Structure 1
Amino acid sequence: MPTYLPFDERRPSSQYQDMLRTIRETGVQVETKQGETALAVAGHQMRFSMAHGAPIITERSIGGFVSKAIGELCAFINGARTLDEFRAFGCDWWDAWATPAKTSSRGLADGDLGPGSYGHAFRNFTTNLDDPDDPGFDQLPHLIQKLKDLPLDRTAVMSPWIPNANHREAGVKSRNTIAPCHGWIHALVFNDKLHLIHNQRSGDTPIGVPSNMAQYTALGLMIEQLTGYEFVEYVHWIQYAHIYSNQVEFVDELIERDPLPLPTLELTEAGKRVTDIHDFRADHFALSDYHPHPAMRGIPVLT
């Protein structure tokens, strides 16, 4: 696992607060298709040294959701694209994205998110969208093998974006019910140390981004386990970082809370025995040293 400093030696983290403050103070007010205006900035980076803790936000408690977020990532890794497949991983919040109205208008079966969704792109990446027998390309095992075989190659990259599945123009609907917002991964090895860069197309910073930070930190731990490279840094880029107008009052409170040290996220003993990326599950991860500010109820979620 990462070489975490003892908890009392970790510096408090303000990276997440700094991002919220930047959007709050310099963001451009924009219209959105969700019907609520937003403050947005074009491009923001957060950088976390794993020695000072895992990027699980402490500005408000999200400890109860971390395991669910990791379970969702495990579903993506295993190719989940239907509501039933997500439920098998404990993810019961995808119904709004696979309503009969959304699926039928895109020519999809009931409960199917489509061939441009996260799971299909992660596990079965293909531009041949209409052949159910095309297995596509399973990206993560190849990324891991490339890191092991060619650590200096700089091309250990994964994308959730299948262009023709996400094509839209006037009168044309995409072939998925939601365009992937996160999951562009670049894993780099410097002197046998793993640095994971996560690029995110669009990020609802008060609600979605904290879950994504937890998910891809967990992915860094998975890659560490399967390659043997110590996971030392997590870098998170968000291209369209935003706060919806009806979230502003909550964000203002978050910004005023004192920065705190980050917690420890590690594999359990069972997790340390996993040898295939597809076999990780949420219960293979343990969160400790987590002493956040109180949870914050009622932050609006826009779908």
Structure 2
Amino acid sequence: MEATEAASVFSALGQGSRLDLLRTLLDAGPDGLPAGVLAERLGIVPSTLSFHLRGLEQVGLIRSTRQGRSLIYAAQIDRLRHVVTFLTETCCGGRPELCGSLTPAPAAAPLRDGPMVAAFNVLFLCTRNSARSVMAEAILNKLGGGRFRAYSAGSDPAARPMAEVLRKLESLGHDVSAVRSKSYREFQGPDAPRMDFVITLCDELQGQHCPDFGGQAITASWPLPGPGRYEAGSPDRQLMVNELYASLHRRLGILTNLKVDALDRLSLRHRVDDLGESPLTVARER
């Protein structure tokens, strides 16, 4: 990013209502919000809101997509990352790693009174175990704070995880040294860890029903589109990977904050299943 381009971004943000608008869209995640909802939440009349939306869209900080008669606006996370990179790339004489993280550290899991409770095991399933389920495994292992242990598998696993997925995870600080594509049958043997949750991330597993992991596992479906539909290395595939990461991170952030121990089995299943109902907005969907 050039200095003149960065300056145009900062100029577009140089007004309180626009900052509030961008923060609201960041909170909404990749699904975004309709203009009418934004106007109501921020208390801005439609004509003024349109002016601010246009200003942010012109510098690439937000994007609009049409759904029926509504325009849905969503923040562009990669654009913000470019701005942050521009600000920090010369930090500490070109060694930004010496400056410490500029993002807030995740809150530690609250301490519990009484005896320690075993972590909950979560298995994410999709067909190839190369993108969606691999992402979910890495994200939950980072967000879980010791309360959750994540695994992933597929019904027809690929030779290896998708390169774009591994690069995305590494760039955001996830350890991918042990990540690999594998069959769900590895988790059905007598020595396999007992699963508390089994979450499928595609519409179906090669026409099969979800594998049986015993009656104790709570099952849920979070159907998400796979980036494998796009050509390797293409902008469309990278866009899909970025949006999948944001969508899964939001869902799993909610999951890790559920009071799992305090909910009965039926309520817990409904809560987890409900997390799969928010659609993923992909602007370049064919």
User: When the two structures are superposed, what TM-score results if normalisation uses the length of structure 2?
Assistant: 0.26
Greater fraction strand = 1
Name the larger-Rg structure.
2
Structure with higher helix content: 2
Q: RCO higher in 1 or 2 (8 Å CA, sep ≥ 6)?
A: 1
